[in-house]
Amino acid sequence: MGRVPIVRIGDTLLATVQDDLYDRDALALQEELSAMLEQTEARGVLIDVSVVETVDSYLGRILRDVALGARLLGAHTVVVGIQPAVAVTLVELGLEIKGIHTALNPEKGMARLRRLLAAEEARDRSRVH
């Protein structure tokens, strides 16, 4: 258990959660992602939670806050690899996940990010004309 490594790939930050997170590790992830978004001017964040067996309301809220915070810094977030059992549990728990983009795996998540960024660029262009 411990810190979540974050690597930069092009204009995307990839955070791969390695184990069930303590609360303080989840908070650290949130803070480090914000700091790295500011430093790197990355436009996408991919959070891989495929090994996470338990997502409770606390971690669910942190993931949502990460996505909202990244949005304010000009980036989109996609959470990838939510285990099927975790997905069922989150729905029953009643977690509000509006605003969180998800994908089955990192590859699909990356494609999702590309589409989100392309749509944003198209909007920006149409505003100029």
Partner 1 sequence: MIAPGSTELTLPVASEYDIVAARQRARDVAKGLGFSLVDQSRIATAVSELTRNVVRYATDSRGEVRIRPLERSARGVGIEIVVADDGPGIPDVAEAMRAGVSGGKGLGMGLPGTRRLMDEMEIDSEPGRGTLVTIRKWRR
Cβ neighbour number for residue 17 with a 10 Å cutoff: 22
Region of 15-23, 38-46, 65-73, 113-121 interacting with partner 1 (CB under 8 A): 15-23
Q: Does 83 participate in binding partner 1 (rule CB under 8 A)?
A: yes
* DSSP at 99: T
Q: Does 98 bind partner 1 (CB under 8 A)?
A: no
Among 39, 92, 98, 127, binds partner 1 (CB under 8 A): 92
Q: Which stretch binds partner 1 (CB under 8 A): 3-11, 33-41, 82-90, 116-124?
A: 82-90
Rule CB under 8 A: choose which of 16, 18, 20, 106 binds partner 1.
Answer: 20
What span, in angstroms and rounded, lies between the C-alpha atoms of 50 and 122?
Answer: 32
For the beta sheet containing 76-80, the strands, ordered from the edge strand earlier in sequence to the opposite edge, are: 6-9, 12-16, 44-48, 76-80, 101-103
Ranges of H-type helices in the chain: 23-40, 57-72, 84-93, 106-128
Q: Is 55 in the site for partner 1 (CB under 8 A)?
A: yes
Residues that bind partner 1 (CB under 8 A): 1, 20-24, 53-58, 83-86, 88-89, 92-96
